[in-house]
Amino acid sequence: MTTTHDFEATAADGSTVALGDYRGKLLLIVNVASKCGLTPQYEGLEALYRETKDSGVEVIGFPTNQFMGQEPGTDDEIQDFCRSTYDVTFPVLAKVDVNGENASPLYEYLRAEAPGDWGPHLGPFYEHVKEITPAADPGDIKWNFTKFLIGRDGQVIKRYEPPVTPEEIQKDLAQYL
């Protein structure tokens, strides 16, 4: 059975990150962008990371430029932005595609395991994104700051759509710590 631990990713410096190295920890995997209206979620993600890392929670950011070009920078520029603007200490890896034919294998897996809960209940955010993005596969990532909670065993526990804040997710973490 495939799990998140079976995948590798690329760090911003080009080195390989084996997600199997996170075995035994809870992971929150997030596709991020520096020029998005949701970019201030970096602050909440960093706070969540600092508050829970000693309990075995890791946050990993995956920059993507697939949503209205909101992550146009190089990997070095993204690192500088994260550190200087939000004092991010959790890993923000190399830029990836999360949808489409060039999607990261990790994101193909995550989308298949947790297709999401995308719909009108997300209110104005749903209406706005629906207007500006073309119809896509139901499991596709719809926007920046989609989050996946991964169990200590590498299995996907839950997908959180972009408007769900890190503070809301922290409430869910209590049952897994």
Per DSSP, the three-state class of 14 is coil
- Cα 96 from chain centroid (whole Å): 11
Instruction: Write down the pLDDT at residue 134.
Output: 64
Place of tokens 């294998």: 105
* All residues at 6 or more sequence positions from 21 whose CB lies less than 8 Å from its CB, including other chains: none
Instruction: Write down the pLDDT at residue 126.
Output: 78
Alpha-carbon distance values, 28 to 62, 74, 134, 172 (Å)? 11, 23, 27, 12
In sequence order, what are the beta bridge partners of 156?
150
Domains for the chain: give ranges and CATH numbers. Answer: 4-176 (3.40.30.10)
* All residues at 6 or more sequence positions from 45 whose CB lies less than 8 Å from its CB, including other chains: 28, 30, 59, 61, 88, 90, 166
Flag the least confident range among 25-29, 63-67, 172-176.
Answer: 172-176
Flag the least confident range among 3-17, 21-35, 110-124.
Answer: 110-124
pLDDT tens digit string along 36-76? 999 999 999 999 999 999 999 999 999 999 999 999 999 99
* Amino acid present at 130: K
Q: Which of 36, 37, 75, 108 is catalytic?
A: 36
Instruction: Write down the pLDDT at residue 174.
Output: 86
| Residues 80/123, Cβ–Cβ less than 8 Å | no
In sequence order, what are the beta bridge partners of 28?
59, 149
pLDDT tens digit string along 100-153? 999 999 999 999 999 887 777 777 877 777 777 765 677 899 999 999 999 999
Task: Give the count of beta carbons closer than 10 Å to the beta carbon of residue 115.
Answer: 13
DSSP state at residue 160: E
Instruction: Write down the pLDDT at residue 135.
Output: 59
Report yes or no on whether pTM surpasses 0.85. Answer: yes
Whether 36 is a known active-site residue: answer yes
